[in-house]
Structure formats: structure tokens, C-alpha cells
Amino acid sequence: MQQMSDQPSAPASAVALHKQLEAVWGTPPGLGRLASVNHTIVGRRFIVTAFVFFAIGGLLAMLIRTQLATPRSAFLGPEIYNQIFTMHGTVMMFLFAIPMFEGLAFYLLPKLLGARDMAFPRMSAYGYWCYLFGGSILVVGLALGVAPDGGWFMYTPLSSKTYTPGINADLWLIGVTFVEISALSAAVEIIVTVLKLRAPGMSLDKMPLLAWYLLVTAFMMLFGFPPLIVGSILLEVERAFGLPFFDPTRGGDPLLWQHLFWLFGHPEVYIIFLPAAGMVTTILPVFAGREIIGYTWIVVSIVALAFLSFGLWVHHMFTVGIPHLALAFFSSASTAVAVPTAVQIFAWLGTLAAGRPRLTVPMLFLLGFFFVFVAGGLTGVMLAIVPFDWQVHDTHFVVAHLHYVLVGGFVFPMMAAAYYWLPHFTGRSTRHGFGVTVFWLIFAGFNLTFLVMHWTGLVGMPRRVYTYGTETGWEWLNLISSFGSFLMAIGFALFAIDVLMQWRYGRRTRRNPWRAETLEWAMAVPAPSYNFASLPAVSSRAPLATEPQLPAHLAAGRGYLPFVRDGRMETLAVGLVTGQIEQVVRLPNRTLLPLITAIATGVFFVSVLFKLYVPALVGAAATLAMFLLWTRTTGDLQDRGAMPIGRGESAAPHTEAMAPPALWAMALTLAADATAFASLAFGLVFLWVVAPNWPPPALLAVDPAATVVAVVGFVGAALVGRISVRPAVIAVPRLRDRVLIGVAAAHVAALAGLGTTMLEVPDPTRHAYPAATMMVLLYAAFHAALGIVFALYGVWRSRAGFVSPARSLDLRIGAMWHAATAAIGAVSLLLVHGLPVVMT
């Protein structure tokens, strides 16, 4: 039997410590790698996969440019061309940009923050598999010639069943939603990691700015993605079951789709830009040879930017006939975002001017970023001016603008990041020469392609046309664009070769080759699986400048947690603002469960794609069961109290903490959930107010009995749920089990009430009113059903010995769900029964 020792001591030598840590944190080679949950490995996987998708998207771009190089080209027909530009946009936005940033975040965050892994390593792995499978669905569709062909924003009714009867649109909806799961889980994980898993002493104001950028970005994802997911579900339900949310002939409205899509779509472009800006803020000071100016200014700017970016979405809809005052609101918000962006640009400029900049390869790409991104930002401000947008909206001017901001604001910084962190990934130093050629090819090619494209748009070329005539006067402009794009493609190909060569044949680098000051360079490169042999105590924003000996000290075990306790994987969590030590977080070990769960989820999505609803239900149930299985190795069977963490200090295990990471994760998940519900509620209200062919032919009658039962059920679940976390109740095992059963019973009542109401809803395929009403009720019912699972899960955990007054996490998480369910249930009933009264 293994001996429980709560008094571990640091091993005698750095090598012994390394061996001990590697034994628990390392991932074995071969098939065992499928079980890896380590952030370095998962991060690398995301990055490599995203780069492969970038290559696919780039290839599609080359096909586009080949077709458009000459007028009346016979290279591609419209059916194929439509698939190609749709997939180009979709791949670049969903399968390249977002996952690339997620990968970098996973790889870098714990290292920057002085932690050993992300907060939920198994979720990272699960997210990766979801991304890979969802992306593969789309690419397989392309290979089979049935890829989505309605444009990357999939406007209805073109993407509805009537006008796209094939599987094309379903592939988009299913594939993208599958990938979004990984985006949402990454968002939760990034937030919790930044807020909690920092090095001791790293208070909010000592956090590296990149962590701020990633934190803000993750919050934007949390609120930005739910509208798209809801929209996609509604459209898939319309396509599969005929519920007419977007069909104007039956009370739906195509504009609802546009609102839901752009509520996501606009923040999305800032979600892509902000992490890249964070990398600029990290890399630029290193080569300027001085600290960045305006730390607080930058933090304030990015928070402001995050909010403002949610007030811009209608600038994609300036031509749909919205009142001028409404356009004015969005026009002013769209110009206002330029301000926080300008603050950042000038912070970078001021830093360069006050330092002594070195013209390295990463710096070269940053210079390219400056030119291209500032130009793109300027055309962005122009597009925010309503009348100008009326002319150039949906033309190649917009295509040029969006590539200036996306390539300038994301690809160029990523190239800088690649050359900057390459030694960290590979342990090899980079060479100067080749990178310069790569830069000039890409920079020249890019501007040749897209600078003239502004003009192409101004002289009238709409986007998404597969051909044009000679009378238009667009021939030369297009030929130049195509020529430039091939130059750029050569540049990217050389980049791939350069990276491969350096990875294979580069000279070994010393630690910290750029003389950077952030913690990710305080470790050996390539990074060991556990990052730090012992965790640093941080006292400034530039730990390696304040304490040049830090890497050696950490390796020698003079930091926190310089040992392996009972074969567990441990890292520290701190107070959110202060950075004071708070908990010892135990992380889960490698396991195949994330992969298996993702396969189960894949069964669900693929079955829905082929309209096989029984296998779909099986897939969903299996996914849920797998997630429950995950918890078997989390939690603790005994109260431990404070445990030593080295340097003479001690901290409680997370299982006994007030606010462990999992509790934060639940709160954040509920925030995303509330956003999704708000999007759905917005849809219902929007249809009532704006959609054609209202009021509906028949209204839902109020059934007093069913309503009362549902209300009692919801209120009961919330109240009894609260009782279940009272210390006095938790202390008595029999009592707490009974209370939890009571919670489950309350959810059953709520379900019964809702179910009866749903049966009374008029035929939902006849009109958008019953359709949307049904979806709102279903949303609440889904929550009640999961509420039963949460309550019974509590009983299971309690019986298995995971619960005590000190270890109440599982029950507290449950109580949060019950409360949220009650709130959603109450608002649903209010909307469903109240709107008809108010509106008729």
C-alpha cells in the first residue's frame, strides 16, 4: 500500500527532482500520446493543426485568385467556386485563426504565469479532438464536392432548405458548431487559468500584458460565441424539422439570422486581433530594449475595446434598411473603437522611440504588421461611415479591408511570434537570412494583392462573383492581385520550409536567446513537461530582469512545490487580485477519456448530420456518461487541511477551498449559458416586433395547472438546492442525500409542467411563433433535465465519499445549476405567456 505522506521534501539534486517530476508529468511516446492532456503537447497540436488548415485555406485562396485572374475564366464553374470561397472564409476564420490563438494560449499561458499546466487539462484535450473532428467534417465535405456554398456567413434564406436542399449547409452548421465547443471550453479554461493559476505574488497589476489580452479575449468568446451557436441550432432545426425561424412566408425573418450571426461575427474579428496584439505587446519591448509604456492604459484600452466591439454588429447590415438613427448608433460605436486601438498603436510607437530597436526577423514582421494593420484600420473607419458603406459594402473593397486587418492584425503578428518563440518550441536557435526573404515576399505579395483590390471594389466589382466581363475594366486590377497572391504563397511555402529546417537542423540555443524578461523563458527549452521544477515567487512585471538567477533557483528546487507528493500533479492557485497563495490545485493525469468523449460527441454530430436521430441520442447520452466518468479521479476521499508547499508555507488543497477553479468554471459556463438563452429570447422578441406575417394564426393558451406545477418545480429546485449546501445539511450524510433527491423531484415537476405546456403549443411548423415558443420551452426543459442529473450526481458523489462539510464543491456546483435553471425557467414562462398579452 502506498504511504500517505503529507510532508514531502525536495529531492537532493536538480536531476533527481527532474526525474521525479517527469515521471508523473511526462507523456510516454507511441500510442500513449493519444492520452496526453499536457498543455505543451495540446498547444502544439492546436498550432500544427491550425497551420495545416491555413495551408488548405491558402490553397483555396490560390484557386480563387487563379479563377479571377482573367475575365470569363473557364477554370472553375460557379458551383465549385461558391464552395471554394465559402470554405476559404470558413476555414480561415474557424479552423485557422481561432484555433491558432487557442494553441498559442494553451502553450504559453501556464509558462507565462508560472504554473505547471492549464486549469482543466482534460478539457484542453477534449477541445482539441472536437476541433480536429469538426474541422475534418468540413474538409471531407470539400473533398467530396458537397462543401457549404452559401458564403461564410450563410445568409438565410439562401442557406435554408428551399434554396440549399443538399447537405452542404448542414455540413457548415454541424461542423462549425462542433468546433465551437472547443472555443467555448478554451474560453472558460483560459479565464480560470489567468484568474487563479498564477505564480505566488503575481497580483493583477504584475501580470504580463499578454495574459491580460488573453483574459479579455476569452471573456469575449464566452459572450460572443453563444449567439452563433443558438443561430446555428435554429437554422439546423429549421432545415431538419421545418420550424420556420427564418422563413418570411411563415412568420420567420432572414434578418434574425443576420443579427445572431453578426452579434458573434463582429466580436469574432476582435477575438482574432486581440491575442495577436498581445503578442506584439510581448515581443516588441524585447526588441525595443525597454519596458512597454502605458501598462494601465493598455489594460483600460483592451477592456474598453472588448465592450465596444459588441456594439458594432449592425455595421455589417448598413444596407438592410434599418432606420438612420440606429445606423448612427452603430456608426458612432464603430468609429469609437478606433480610439483604444490608437492608444495601443501609440504605446508601441512610444516604446520603440524610447528604446533602441533591433531589426531582427520578428521585428521585421512587426513592422509589416504596423503598416498593414494601420492601413486596414483606416479603411475600417471609412467603412464605419454609413453612406460610404452603402457604396462599397459587399464589394472587393471590403475583401481588401478585411484582409488588411486579418492578415495585418493576425498573420503578421503570428509570423513574428513564430520566429520569436520558435527557439522555445524547438530548443534551437533561428537563423536570420531566410526569414528576411520570407518577409519581403509575403509583404510585397500581400500589398500587391490587396492594395489594388480596394480599387477593384471602388470601380464596382462585387464580392463572391466567379466571373466578370471585359467591359467592366477590372481585368488589370485582378491580374495584378492574382500575381501578388502567388508571390505571397511562395513566401508562405518558404516559411514552412524555414521552420522545418530550423527545427531539424538548427543549432541548439541557449536559454532565453532574446534576453526576454517574462517567465516562459525561465525554463529549459524545449520546455519540460512540468514547466518549472519549482514554482517562482514573483515581485515584478519583469521577473527575469528583477532576478536574473531565477531560472537556476527554480531548477534547483528553491521555489514552491519542489517535490512530487504521492505521485500527484500539483500547481498553485492564488487570490484573484492580490496574487497571495490560496490553494494547492491537483491536476488530472493523462487519460484516454477526452478522446473517447470527443468520439462520442462526434457520433452525436455525425448522426445529426445524416438525420439519424436514434444514434444521435445515443451519442449524446454517451457523451454525458463519459463526462460523469471523468469525475471519478477528481476530488478527494478525505479532509486534508493545509499542506506544506515548500519555502516553509502551506495551503489547503483545492477540494477544500472556498472558490476552487471548478467553481469559477461553473460560474463562467452559466454566463455563457445565460448569453445563449438571452440570444434565444432576443429571437422570440425580435420576431414578435419586426418579422413579417405576424401576429400568428393561433396563440398558446395558458394552462394554469401546468404553469403552476412548472413554477413550483423551478422555485423548489432552487430553494432545496440552496438547502443542500447548508453546512448543517452536508454534515449529515442521510439528510443530504434526501435533500438532493428532493431537488431531483422538483426538477421532475418542472419538466412535467413544461412538457404539458409544450404539448399545447400549436403546430410549430406552421409559423415562427409556435416554433420559437417551443424552442424557449425546450431550452428550459433541457435545463431541468440536466438538473436531475446534477442532483443525482450529487447523491452518487456523496455516497462514494467525495463529500464532507469541508469538501462541498460538487454540491455547490449543483446548487449553482439549480438556481440558474430556476431563473431560466421563470423567464421562459414569463416570455411565453407574457409576450402574447403585451403584443396583441
Partner 1 sequence: MRRSPAGFRPVVVAAAAAGLAGCDGPLSTLDPAGPAAATIAGLWWAMMSGGIVLLTIVMALLAWAFLRPGAGRTTSPRVWLAGGGLVLPAVVLTPLLLAGLWAGERLLARPGVPGIVRVDVTARQWQWDFVYPDATPAVSTNVLHIPVGRPVDVHVTSADVIHSFWVPRLAGKIDAIPGHVTVVRLAADRPGVFHGVCAEFCGTAHAHMGFTVEAHAADAYEDRLRRLGRNTR
Partner 2 sequence: MTQAARITPPRALLLLVAGFVVWSSAFVWLYGGLSVGCAFGWDRITLAGTSALRLGLLLIWLVHVAALGWLLAYSRAVRQAGRSPPFVTTAATALTVVALIATVWTGLAIPATTLCI
Q: Which does 9 bind (CB under 5 to 8 A by kind): partner 1, partner 2, ligand HEM, none?
A: none
Q: Which is nearer to partner 2, 473 or 695 (CB)?
A: 695
Within residues 355-374, the interface with partner 2 by CB under 8 A covers none
In whole angstroms, the minimum distance from the beta carbon of 774 to partner 2 comes to 24
Interaction mask 323-362, partner 1, x per CB under 8 A:
-x--xx--xx--xx-xxx-xxxxxx-xx-xxxxxx-x---
Burial (0-12, 13-18, 19+ Cβ within 10 Å), 231:
buried
Within residues 251-290, the interface with partner 1 by CB under 8 A covers 253-255
Q: Which does 407 bind (CB under 5 to 8 A by kind): partner 2, ligand HEM, partner 1, none?
A: ligand HEM
- Interacting residue with partner 1 among 26, 35, 44, 151 (CB under 8 A): 151
Within residues 486-515, the interface with ligand HEM by CB under 6 A covers 488
- Distance between CA atoms of 469 and 19, rounded to whole angstroms? 69
Q: Which is nearer to ligand HEM, 93 or 184 (CB)?
A: 93
In whole angstroms, the minimum distance from the beta carbon of 95 to ligand HEM comes to 10
Which range of residues in 52-60, 242-250, 327-335, 711-719 is near partner 2 by CB under 8 A?
327-335
Q: Which does 753 bind (CB under 5 to 8 A by kind): partner 1, ligand HEM, partner 2, none?
A: none
Number of residues located near ligand HEM, criterion CB under 6 A: 25
Nearest to 775 by CA among 238, 176, 239, 265: 238
Q: Which does 347 bind (CB under 5 to 8 A by kind): ligand HEM, partner 2, partner 1, none?
A: partner 1
| Residue 465 binds to partner 1 (criterion: CB under 8 A) | yes
- Distance between CA atoms of 603 and 594, rounded to whole angstroms? 14
- Interacting residue with ligand HEM among 88, 259, 747, 807 (CB under 6 A): 88
In whole angstroms, the minimum distance from the beta carbon of 97 to partner 1 comes to 22
Q: Which is nearer to partner 2, 667 or 792 (CB)?
A: 667
The residues, any chain, with a CB within 8 Å of residue 548's CB and separated by 6 or more, are none
Q: Return the number of other C-beta atoms located less than 10 Å from residue 102's C-beta.
A: 31
- Interacting residue with partner 1 among 128, 468, 714, 793 (CB under 8 A): 468
Is residue 385 within 8 Å of 451, Cβ to Cβ? Answer: no
Q: Which does 203 bind (CB under 5 to 8 A by kind): partner 1, partner 2, ligand HEM, none?
A: partner 2
How many CA atoms are closer than 13 Å to the CA of 701, on its beta-carbon side? 5
- Interacting residue with partner 2 among 26, 52, 151, 329 (CB under 8 A): 329
What single-letter amino acid sits at 364?
L
- Interacting residue with partner 2 among 320, 378, 689, 731 (CB under 8 A): 689
| Residue 365 binds to ligand HEM (criterion: CB under 6 A) | no
| Residue 369 binds to ligand HEM (criterion: CB under 6 A) | no
Q: Which is nearer to ligand HEM, 61 or 709 (CB)?
A: 61
Within residues 445-464, the interface with ligand HEM by CB under 6 A covers 449, 463-464
Which residue has its beta carbon closest to ligand HEM? 89
Which range of residues in 195-203, 236-244, 379-387, 604-612 is near partner 1 by CB under 8 A?
379-387
Nearest to 217 by CA among 189, 181, 179: 189
In whole angstroms, the minimum distance from the beta carbon of 328 to partner 2 comes to 4
| Residue 266 binds to ligand HEM (criterion: CB under 6 A) | no
- Interacting residue with partner 2 among 576, 702, 748, 789 (CB under 8 A): 576
Q: Which is nearer to partner 2, 307 or 434 (CB)?
A: 307
Dihedral of CA atoms 269, 271, 274, 278 in degrees, nearest 10, equals -140
Residue 832 to residues 254, 699, 703, 775, 828, Cα–Cα distance (Å): 22, 10, 12, 10, 6
| Residue 85 binds to ligand HEM (criterion: CB under 6 A) | yes
| Residue 437 binds to partner 1 (criterion: CB under 8 A) | no
**Long-range Cβ contact pairs of 478-481 (< 8 A, separation 24 or more):** 478/68, 478/69, 478/70, 478/71, 479/69, 479/70, 480/448, 480/449, 480/452, 481/65, 481/68, 481/448, 481/449, 481/450, 481/452, 481/453, 481/456
Within residues 133-172, the interface with ligand HEM by CB under 6 A covers 151-152
Nearest to 751 by CA among 796, 783, 704: 783
Interaction mask 15-54, ligand HEM, x per CB under 6 A:
----------------------------------------
Strand-by-strand arrangement of the 643-646 sheet: 569-574, 581-587, 649-653, 643-646
- Distance between CA atoms of 361 and 416, rounded to whole angstroms? 7
| Residue 320 binds to partner 2 (criterion: CB under 8 A) | no
Angle at 719 (CA atoms; ends 718, 722), nearest 5 degrees:
90
Q: Which is nearer to partner 2, 331 or 623 (CB)?
A: 331
| Residue 65 binds to ligand HEM (criterion: CB under 6 A) | yes
**How much of the chain is helix, strand and coil, in % rounded to 5?**
70, 5, 25
At 163 the three-state DSSP class reads coil
Within residues 154-213, the interface with partner 2 by CB under 8 A covers 203-205
- Interacting residue with partner 1 among 112, 218, 448, 835 (CB under 8 A): 448
- Distance between CA atoms of 742 and 511, rounded to whole angstroms? 59
Q: Which does 691 bind (CB under 5 to 8 A by kind): ligand HEM, partner 2, partner 1, none?
A: partner 1
- Interacting residue with ligand HEM among 105, 109, 279, 407 (CB under 6 A): 407
Tally of helices (H runs) and strands (E runs) in the chain: 27, 4
Residue 283 to residues 301, 554, 621, Cα–Cα distance (Å): 19, 24, 46
What would the DSSP string read from start to end of 7-65?
-----SSHHHHHHHHHHHH---SGGGGGG---HHHHHHHHHHHHHHHHHHHHHHHHHHH
In whole angstroms, the minimum distance from the beta carbon of 381 to partner 1 comes to 7
The 3-state secondary structure of 617-683, one letter per residue: HHHHHHHHHHHHHHHHHCCCCCCCCCEEEECCEEEEEHHHCCCCHHHHHHHHHHHHHHHHHHHHHHH
Q: Return the number of other C-beta atoms located less than 10 Å from residue 428's C-beta.
A: 20
Q: Which is nearer to partner 2, 90 or 193 (CB)?
A: 193
Q: Can you name the residues that pair with 428 across neighbouring β-strands?
A: 508
| Residue 375 binds to partner 1 (criterion: CB under 8 A) | yes
Element (H, E) at 733: helix 733-760
Look up cell 413544461; give the residue: 754
- Interacting residue with partner 1 among 34, 62, 73, 155 (CB under 8 A): 155
- Distance between CA atoms of 205 and 712, rounded to whole angstroms? 47
**Residue numbers at the binding site for ligand HEM (CB under 6 A):** 58, 61, 64-65, 85-86, 88-89, 92-93, 96-97, 151-152, 399, 403, 406-407, 410-411, 449, 463-464, 485, 488
Residues that bind partner 2 (CB under 8 A): 203-205, 296, 299-300, 303-304, 307-308, 310-311, 314, 323-326, 328-329, 332-333, 336, 340, 575-578, 689-690
